[in-house]
Each structure stands twice: as C-alpha cells, then as structure tokens.
Amino acid sequence: MKHALFGAMVAAALAVPAFANDYMIMAPASPGGGWDSTARTMQEVMQAEGISSSVQVTNVPGAGGTVGLAQFVSSASGDPSQLIVGGYVMVGAILTNASPVSLADVTPIARLTGEAVAIVVPAASEIQDIKGLVDAMAADPGAVSWAGGSAGGVDHITVGLLAKAAGVDPTKINYVAFSGGGEATAAILGNQVTAGISGLGEFLPQVEAGTMRLLAVSSDARIEGVDAPTLKEAGYDVVVQNWRMVAAAPGLSDEQKAQVSADIEKLAKSAGWQKALADKGWADTYLAGADFEAQLAKEIEATTAVLKDIGLVQ
Amino acid sequence: MDTFGFLMQGLATAFEPMMLLYALVGVVLGTAVGVLPGIGPALTVALLLPVTYGLDPAGSLIMFAGIYYGGMYGGSTTSILLNTPGESASVITALEGNKMARAGRGGPALATAAIGSFVAGLIATLLLAFLAPHVVKLALVFGPREYFALMVLAFVTVSAAFGESALKGLVSLFVGLALALVGIDQLTGQARLSFGVPQLLDGVEVTTLAVAMFALGEALFVAAQGPDHGAGVLAIKGRVRMTAQDWARSWKAWLRGTAIGFPIGSMPAGGADIASFLSYATERNMTRHPEEFGKGAIEGVAGPEAANNAAAAGTLVPLLTLGLPTTATAAIMLAGFQQFGLQPGPLLFASAPQLVWGLIASLLVANVMLLVLNLPLIRFWVLLLRIPQPWLYGGILVFATLGTLGVNPSVVELSMLVIFGTLGYIMRLYGYPIAPVVVGLILGPMAEQQLRRALAIAQGDPMTLVQSPIAAVLLGLALVALVVPMILRARGRGDALAQIGTAED
C-alpha cells in the first residue's frame, strides 16, 4: 500500500504541469561558458524580479550546442515552461555538423545579448594596425596564423569574412582553433601566433594591461571606452556580432508563445538584467517577434555562405 | 603593504570563527560530492557555486576554496578504496592505492594521499602567493610544439613498461587512442567516427570511460566470479596509521609530486592528469622497492596525489595573473569572481589585492581543514571495505550511474557507460590492462591537437618540433626514457621496472 501510494505521488508529481511561470532553461554547453552564464544570469534575474518563482538551469554540453538542441527538440515539445539558450555559434555548428535538428525546429523568442569580436596582436608584434595585419595576410595567407575559438565558430567566421573583404582567398587562411578562450589567449601572450581573435571581453583585460595590442573590433559602430577602429572604419566591410538568444519549445500554441515572449520581455527590460549586462560587458541587443525571426533567417543565410567560402561546409 | 602583510591580513580574516565554519562547510560539501564517481572537481564547483552566492565576498571565497580543494581530494578516496576513480587525475591513484586497500593497507594509502595532498597544497599555495607572476612567464613559453613534446614524454614514460606483455599494453593504449578520435575534430570542425549520433560529436567523456572501465568492469568481474569469491580483500591489516617506513617512503614522493604538479598545473594546456601520470612514472623509476609497484607501492599513491593537488593550485596561477581560465574548474571560478564584479586578469593583483590574498589565505585554511577533517575519517572510510561485496558493488553501480547521468543526462551516455563497462570486464578477463585505455583517451587528443597546431603555425615544417630548446630537451628525455628500459630489459633486468599492466586488478 505504501508503495502504491508513493508510486501514485511520483506519478502525480510527474504529471502535474509546471506552473505557468516556472521555467527550466537548458544551457547547451558546459558550466562556465557564455551560454551557461547567460542561462544562469536569466535564472537569477527572473527570480529576483519576480518574473518566475522557480527557474532551473540544466547543462547539456556538446558539439556547439547541437547535442543540447537535439535533446531539447525531442523532450520539450509542447512544454511552455522549457527554454533553451543559443546563439551565433549554434548557427555555425548546426551547419558544420550537418545537425539533424536546426533552429527551425524550436520557437525562437528573442535575441538578448551581443558581443563584438576583437582582433589583437601580441604587444611585441611588429604589426601596428589592422591594415598591417591584413596586408601581411594578403602577401602570404599561410604565414599569418590566427588563434581563436573552435573551428567554424564566430571567430573563424570573422577571419573568413575579413579575408574575403580584403580580397584574400578564405580557404587559404591559417586559422588555428583552440578550445576555450584561455588557451588561445595564452598562445597570443606567448607569441606563438601572429594574431588572435576572440570576444572583446576576453581580450580587454590584457589590452588594458598592455600585453596585447587591440587592432580592430567587429561592431557596427565604435564601442564606448574602447580605443580601436571598427573593421568597417578601417575599410573592410565586415560586421560580426556574437549574439545570444533564447528559444522556447516547438509546438507551442499562440497564447503560450505570447506568454513566454512577455516574460522574456519583462526580463530584458528589468533593472536587474540591465545591471547584469553592464557587469558582464554584454551589449543589450534585445530583439523579439517578427523582427528577430527575419534577422535570424538573414544570419543563417549569411553564415552558410561564409562557411562554404572557407570550405567548412560543402 | 607588501606581499607578506597582505597574506597576514588575509589569514586574519580567514581565521575568524564564522569563516572557519564556512571553510568547514565547503570542505565537507566538496569532499562529499567529490567522492561520487563520475563527478569531478569541475562539476563539484559548478554544482556548489550557487551555495556561496548568498554570502559576503570573504565568506564566499573561503567556502569556495574549501569546495575546490575538497572536490580534488574526494576523488582519491573512492579510487583507493573502491578502484573507481571519479576523475582523470585520480586514475593513477587507483593503480597502487587500490592494491594497498585490498591488502589491508587502505589506512596508510588514504593517509599518504591526505597528507600528501596537504603538503603539496601548502607548498603550491605558497608558491602561488609568492612566485605566481614569475611562474606564469615560464608557463607562457610553452606553445603547441613544447606541449607536444611534453605529451610525447608522458606517453613514453607512462607506457614504456605497460606490463608483462608489452603487446597487451599497447593494444589497450590503442583502444584508448581510437576512442579519442571520436567526435568533432577541434581544428577543422569535421566529425570523426560519430556515425550520425549527435551525442558522439563531443567525443567520449573521460570520466564516463574511467568510471565504466574501472567501476563497472570491476563489478562485473567480481560478480562473474560467483558468490564464494570473498577472498582477496582484507579490510584492515596492521595499523590504520602510517608506519615509520611509510613516512620515510612518502615524504620524498610528496615533494617530487609537488615539484612536478605545480609547474604543469600552471601551464595553460597542462593539467592535473598529466602531472599525475608523470609523477607516477617518476616514482616508479626512482623507487627502491620496484618489486612492490603494481602490488601496492605507497610511493605510487603519495606522488600522484601530491602532484594532482599541486596542479590544482597551479591552475590558479594563470587565472589570477592573466585572467586565463585553463580548466573547466577555473572557468567556473572565473564566473564566481565575476559574481562580485571582479575580472581576474593581469591587473587583479594590483587592483584588488585584498581579494587575491584573501583567496590565497582561504586556500591555506581550507587545506588545513581538509587534513583535520579527513585524517580521523580514514578509520571510517576503511570500514567501507567491510560491507559485504554484493552490497558494496551494488552501491558502486548505483553511484557510478548516477554520477555519469548527473553530468550528462542522456541515454547515449548511459549506453556508453554500459558498453565500456562490458569492454572493461572482457579486458580484465583476458588480462589486458585498463589504465592505458584511459591514458590514451586523455593524452591522444592533446598530443594530436598540439602537433597539428604546431605544424599549422610553422606551415607544415616538421623541423619546428625540435627547433625550440624546451621541446628539444623534452623530446630528448622521452628518447632516454624509451631507450634505457630497453637496454635494461635486454640485459635481463626488465623485472625491475614496475609494470602498470598488472596493476589494476
């Protein structure tokens, strides 16, 4: 009897739909990375601002987020309490891994944050500006080694775009992929490579300490407090932003989608979120609804083209 | 204020009663979670970091330091007693440690691990405090070609004598190397040996393989021998404490382990696992009791345990001086710092000295706390071995499965656990050593990536590998390590070389 009762309680616990404002956010990456910290910041702010009474974060790492995405699509379908964090890196990973699931299989809600990509050289380098670096690459693409994040990721894509904009064959670039920003930074500080490329936030402390020289950033306009030209200003028509987004489960009704969107909007507009963005150095790139969906489609198309150009996607 | 003054100030804070309580809670939590197979220090810290958010920065840091060192230490307990390493850096500890435990010397094995961790942690934390800015300069000299040379040295020293049968050892190693190829190639983004299974794209998790091969394989092997096979495990024989001879044999190993672990931990692409491999190889070569290696030599526990704890402190060198998180654990710590609006980096020592020295003082306190907590506990841990084997192994299976699923909740991960567990059983049955599989999985991808990076940077010129003095010296050492045992063996003294191969079961 006891067992039966216990069983019934477990069954009931499993069957009871989560309360409307409870959320489970999947960070499709290991703890500590950008998606994980995005998810955990959302958790903190949503609870602190009273948007949701209970938010949980799960980590499903692997393959640029596509492992988590596949699991999310199959297990969360129709459940409005489940969210997944993603972003530009996932767009590239879906293409390079020929992932069976894509962002078309989830319900994109909003773009939340963005970070510019920065190009640096070691302080001891002879190269003084972005033109010098690009000219060296044009003269002998193989001789200019780039240290950055994973292959096909936003750093790699930016180098590909830059090469293309400068009239260099993007398949000839010497891009050396490192796992995680730390190892790439070490290679740059140790003068092992010609140049480095990664999120601006990762390099800024080094630049401020004078161990690296910041040559250019990939944002559309100059960034306040950062003493470097944009690639566009320097004459290369490249604008890249490593944006992060949040999506809901597939198969939601219009009302459910509207409810999730409203909660996320509340989050994005809250004072707690704005403060967290400032603390972490993320730009507020909140964009939702049809505008975001159109932007997403554009990004996917552009990324496909670049990855084909640099030979990572057939 | 000078370095010493800051440290004293930090220590004064850390010794306040509330702070000591936080340290105790951190150490207990860290050790408890670290004991679970499949949950390494990175996950321990990730799981427990939110616990610290509610505290003030000093309390948070101190609890955090306790969790960090506690998690590092917890893994060794299960390695020694149950032959189930919870993370890659404890794999080597299981080799000699579990042999000791089975011979009724679990007490001294745990004690040398605890005291070794303490000694190494203490020295390494002091080195961190006083030498970090210098050590880091040295560590940055290491680029891809130097790392490749270091990997070659680790390969050679660990595998030079893989057992009575070099062939079987090499077969095991190559099984590990083959498994290491599974997943997305880091340098080109192409999938290898993933057979369209998305979960395989990220490769085989080291903890999954280690837990499966050691814990599941062992449980299956014991179960297959039938109910009457109670022999072979002695809970306690002789004293639970270390004897004078144990001390005499351990202290040099602790110091050597520290000397190997700290610099390797400081290297951005080093790591506690490589440090423990190299320490084991060193102890094996320097011991005066070579006949005991593979049968429970105390140096083989003392050295690697000291090395992996020293490496854990070493990891903080690039984190605090450069803001470089070089391991998953460090990356999570970075997130912890950011919680307080602090960006570890080249300026941290100058801009927030109280915090840096507070952390270092906290680490010292946590280290002491860990020893105080664990030495008396050894008596109870050893009693684990008195649990009837069916229950014990039943429990191991439950914890191993929970741990693995906790890290990565997926059916594929669970299937891998079962498949590798079965493989581990079959390999035991036919006398193939288990450790080289794990070593291959850990070192294979590192060696491959560093080699390819080095060649990419040099545009394909293989001479680059020997043109750096450090790389050349390391490769030279590897050559010596490869050739000397061959000569010794040819002269009929091969028995003198410790044999990892026989060490697992």
| DSSP tally for chain A: helices H, then strands E | 11, 10
Task: Give the gyration radius of chain B's Cα atoms.
Answer: 22
Query: Within chain A, which residue ranges are assigned CATH 3.40.190.150?
Result: 14-114+243-309
Counting one residue from A and one from B, how many pairs have CB atoms under 8 Å apart?
A: 149
Long-range contact set of residues A289-298: C-beta below 8 Å, sequence gap at least 24:
A289/A110, A289/A261, A292/A108, A292/A109, A292/A110, A292/A111, A292/A245, A293/A108, A295/A111, A296/A103, A296/A108, A296/A111, A296/A245
**Does B140 sit within 8 Å of A190, measured CB to CB?**
yes
| Most confident segment among A65-74, B101-110, B134-143, B486-495 | B101-110
Interatomic CA distance for residues A193 and A47, integer angstroms: 44
Interatomic CA distance for residues B192 and A33, integer angstroms: 24
Mean pLDDT of chain B: 80
In B, which residues are within 8 Å of A89 by CB distance? none
Of B82, B111, B76, which is closest to residue B98 (Cα–Cα)?
B82
**Contact (CB, 8 A) for B176 and B440:** yes
Number of structural domains chain B divides into: 1
**Does A96 sit within 8 Å of B189, measured CB to CB?**
yes
Give the dihedral of Cα atoms A6, A7, A8, A13; nearest 10 deg: 90
Q: Mean per-residue pLDDT for B129-136?
A: 78
Closest-CA distance, B137 to chain A, in angstroms, reads: 8
pLDDT of residue B16: 80
Interatomic CA distance for residues A297 and A104, integer angstroms: 9
Interatomic CA distance for residues A38 and A24, integer angstroms: 13
**Contact (CB, 8 A) for A18 and A83:** no
> In chain B, how long is the greatest CA-to-CA distance?
68
Residues of the domain holding B164: 3-502
- Confidence band (pLDDT; 50, 70, 90) for B480? confident
Closest-CA distance, A203 to chain B, in angstroms, reads: 10
Interatomic CA distance for residues B165 and A174, integer angstroms: 43
Interatomic CA distance for residues A214 and A169, integer angstroms: 24
Interatomic CA distance for residues A157 and A151, integer angstroms: 9
Q: What does the block give as tokens for B47? A: 């799981």
CB environment B368-395: b (16+ within 10 A), e (fewer): bbbbebbeeebeebbebbeeebeebbee
pLDDT (tens digit per residue) in A10-48: 443 443 444 457 888 888 876 656 787 788 888 888 877
Query: Within chain A, which residue ranges are assigned CATH 3.40.190.10?
Result: 115-217
pLDDT (tens digit per residue) in A221-278: 888 778 888 888 888 888 888 888 888 888 888 888 888 888 888 888 888 888 878 7
Q: Is the pLDDT of residue B232 over 60?
A: no
Task: Assign domain A14-114+243-309 one CATH number from 3.90.1150.10, 3.40.50.300, 3.30.530.20, 3.40.190.150.
Answer: 3.40.190.150
Which distant-in-sequence residues (6+ apart) come within 8 Å of A219 by Cβ?
A: A116, A230, A239, A241
Q: Mean per-residue pLDDT for A149-165?
A: 85
**Does A63 sit within 8 Å of B409, measured CB to CB?**
no
| Residue-by-residue DSSP string for B22-64 | HHHHHHHHHHHHHHSTT--HHHHHHHHHHHHTTS-HHHHHHHH
Interatomic CA distance for residues A207 and A191, integer angstroms: 15
pLDDT of residue B227: 67
pLDDT of residue B23: 84
ipTM above 0.90, yes or no: no
pLDDT (tens digit per residue) in B16-42: 888 888 888 888 888 887 777 666 666
**Does A100 sit within 8 Å of B457, measured CB to CB?**
no
Q: Is the pLDDT of residue B499 over 50?
A: no
Q: What does the block give as tokens for B111? A: 């004690």
pLDDT (tens digit per residue) in B342-382: 666 666 666 677 777 777 888 888 888 888 888 888 888 87
pLDDT of residue B234: 59
Residue A211: which of B268, B346, B457 has the nearest Cβ? Answer: B346
Q: Which stretch of DSSP H or E encloses residue B462?
A: none
- Confidence band (pLDDT; 50, 70, 90) for A144? very high
**Does B202 sit within 8 Å of A67, measured CB to CB?**
yes
Q: Considering only residues 222 to 281 of chain B, which have any Cβ-Cβ distance to chain A shorter than 8 Å?
A: 268-269
Which residue has tokens 């955990």?
A: A40
> A115-217 — its CATH code?
3.40.190.10
Q: What does the DSSP 8-state code read for residue B212?
A: I
The percent of residues in chain B predicted with pLDDT above 70, rounded, is 81
Q: When comparing pLDDT for B248 and B197, which is higher?
A: B248
Q: Mean per-residue pLDDT for B88-101?
A: 84
Which residue has tokens 């690639």?
A: A231
